[in-house]
Amino acid sequence: MKPLSPSPIKIMLVDDHPMVRDGLSACLSFYVDIDIVGACNDGTEVLNTTKQCLPDVILMDISMPNQNGLEATEIIKEAFPDTKILIFSMHESAEFVKNAVHSGASGYILKDTDSEEVYQAIKTVAQGRPYFGSNIAQMLLTNSNTPSNERLTAREQMVLSQIATGQSSKAIAQTLNISVRTVEAHRRNIKSKLNIDNLAELVRYAIEQGLVKAS
């Protein structure tokens, strides 16, 4: 261990392919200021693993069975707002990057990025700054002119569907295993994004859009 890094950055790898995780671990093990504290292979396990190993940075894949990395990112950010999430994905289009940012990710790199760059990205994100892979940054620049549509994130959409089926904030908090305050925050965000300020309108909107079925 080098003396200039008193506490190494604790990272966790989330990828449903153990081989990829192993390959990356092998590369990252050459960097002394990085400590791989955990790994898991499914979006639904992320929260529990995070609770156990409290990483500084999570390298998160997007395409995973059951729950994708973007939804998992939102869930982690609800419970651990300080944990930085660096998306580590095979998907290259700007839509994924934008969705990742909406979900609360701090950075986005592609899976075939050199390990050196992966290391740089982890360091940048850990310091609280965003990081986007060189080709990703390029892509974001060319797409910056599109107006940021007031779209709901996956989590917000899920909360909306539960509101629309008549659940209270408390019940939703219980179902999603988050605090009532977080639910209320989602509720506010949803209302402001959709420009709707009462519950009845919200329910009607959800039914009209086919999010839930009129009961």
Partner 1 sequence: MPFSFRIQLFAVIQVILTALFTYIFVTNEYRDLSEQNVATLESFLIEQKQQELKNYTEIAKASIQHIYASAAQDDENAQELVANILSTLIYNGHDGYFFVYDELGTNIVLPTEPYRVGQNYWDLLNDKGEPTIQILIENAKNGGDYYRYPWNQPSTETVTEKLSYSDFLPKWGWMMGTGVYLDNVQQQLNSVQSAIDEHTDNTRFIILFVAMSSIFVIFAIGTILHFTQKKETDKQIDQLGQKIITLQEDEQRHISRELHDGIVQVLVSIKYSLEATGKFLARENINKPQPLTQAQTNLSNAITEIRRISHHLHPRILDELGLSDAMEALGKEFSERTNIAVTITKPSLSKLLPDHINITLYRVVQESLMNIEKHAQATMTNIDLAIIDDWLTLTIQDNGIGMPEINHDEPSLHTGIGTRNLAERVKYHRGQFKITSSRKGTSVIAKIPRSAFAHHYTQQQEPIVSETV
Interface ranges with partner 1 (CB under 8 A): 16-17, 19-20, 22-24, 26-27, 29-30, 44, 47, 62-63, 66-68, 70-71, 75, 90-96, 99, 111-112, 114-115, 142-143, 146, 149-152, 154, 157-158, 160-161, 165, 174-177, 193-194, 208-214
Query: Shortest approach of partner 1 to residue 93 CB, angstroms?
Result: 4
Nearer to partner 1, 7 or 148 (CB): 148
Strands 131-132 and 34-40: unpaired
Query: Shortest approach of partner 1 to residue 103 CB, angstroms?
Result: 11
Match 């990085």 to its residue by tokens.
34
> d(Cα 80, Cα 52) in Å, to the nearest integer?
12
Nearer to partner 1, 129 or 151 (CB): 151
> d(Cα 197, Cα 3) in Å, to the nearest integer?
55
Nearer to partner 1, 7 or 146 (CB): 146
Cα four-point dihedral sign 184, 187, 193, 196? negative
Query: Shortest approach of partner 1 to residue 128 CB, angstroms?
Result: 27
DSSP 111: T
> d(Cα 43, Cα 17) in Å, to the nearest integer?
12
